[in-house]
Amino acid sequence: MDVLEQVDRERLTALCERDEFFWLDLTDPSPDEVTALGDALGLHPVAMEDTIEFGQRPKMDSYEHHVLFVYYTVRKGRGVGEELFEPVEVHIYISGSFVVTVRRAQCTELDALHGELDDADSEAEDYIVYRIFDVLTDAFYPIIDLLEERIDALESQILLRRPSREQLAEIYRLKQRVHELSRRVVPQRDRFNAGAEAILDLPGLARGAREYLRDVGDHLSQIASELHRQQEDLTSLTATYFAANANRLNAVATRLTIGGTFFLAWTLVTGFFGQNFEWLTSNVESRHDFLVYGVGALVVPTLVIGTVFWIKRKDWF
């Protein structure tokens, strides 16, 4: 099977005349190249307008002799900072004679597929379409694993260390990123089954013995479920963060209460013996009286209160 990377009108016309199935993969084409592509393959003008503009939502449009998928895949972020991944929009045109992919960004999965499909049997046309969708869909799995690692690390930090505002900000950033993925995957999942039927109903598309495209739909459902679970995990992690913060504040309040209880007893004792009543000033005057009434009155309540708190700390009652 021929795998093309440039719009060559003569070659495209020759392949169509021979009814030889081919794949044309374009990276960041100019509007003139897209227009030339549409003229050479007879693509619908409305579909061409979407491809020239790009920035479309995930969708599937069916035309008389071909279908257009606006399909999203994902790749790891290539810059520094918090960009874990970058969505990649791919426009996929499928007919009984060809499949065309148009993208503005590099996609290593499609690039790696060139050599594999270049040697593929052009008679298994539905399998070729499946392989393109399959590599685009499976690119989500490493990103999901990366997100899972970040979520697990955050959970460990919150539970085992002191919660901080930076952790809460990271939780909200991850929620936004997971939601961004989910906004693209869920519509693709909902539309793919109908789109798969439209692909298999295309006139002239050779079908194999196995329903390959059903496997892509299963993967999309699994990915959507994983993203939904991660959204719930991050929501629960937010509640865990506030609960951990509340526990820390409770611990601080407990320490202040313990210290305040000791100072209350000491203040009561020193306040009582600090009164200028004549009996006190006349009778509490020796070192023995000082040790018994002064020091003893401070030590005994301290020991009693300390023992009570110690027992309570051990949950003995």
The reported pLDDT for the residue numbered 295 is 79
Q: How confident is the model at residue 102 (pLDDT cuts 50, 70, 90)?
A: very high
Same domain, 159 and 272: no
Same domain, 140 and 279: no
Do 233 and 191 touch, CB atoms closer than 8 A? Answer: no
Per-residue tokens: 202: 């295309």
Share of the chain above pLDDT 90, in %: 28
The reported pLDDT for the residue numbered 81 is 46
If one counts the domains in the chain, the total is: 2
Same domain, 130 and 173: yes
Last residue of a domain, one of 246, 276, 292: 246
Same domain, 140 and 196: yes
More confidently predicted of 305 and 313: 305
Last residue of a domain, one of 200, 225, 246: 246
Same domain, 192 and 267: no
Q: How confident is the model at residue 80 (pLDDT cuts 50, 70, 90)?
A: very low
Same domain, 182 and 287: no
Q: Taking 80 as the threshold, does the pLDDT of residue 77 lie above it?
A: no
Q: Which domain holds residue 31?
A: 2-246
pLDDT average, residue stretch 22-38: 90
Q: How confident is the model at residue 315 (pLDDT cuts 50, 70, 90)?
A: low
The reported pLDDT for the residue numbered 119 is 63
Same domain, 251 and 308: yes
Last residue of a domain, one of 212, 229, 246: 246
Same domain, 9 and 150: yes
What is the per-residue pLDDT across 117-174, written as a single tens digit (0 to 9) for each? 766 555 678 888 899 999 999 999 999 999 999 999 888 888 877 777 888 888 899 9
Single-letter amino acid code for the residue at 316: W
What is the per-residue pLDDT across 181-223, written as a single tens digit (0 to 9) for each? 999 999 999 988 888 888 888 888 777 645 778 889 999 999 9
What is the per-residue pLDDT across 277-286, written as a single tens digit (0 to 9) for each? 777 667 767 7
We report the CATH number of the domain holding residue 191 as 3.30.460.20
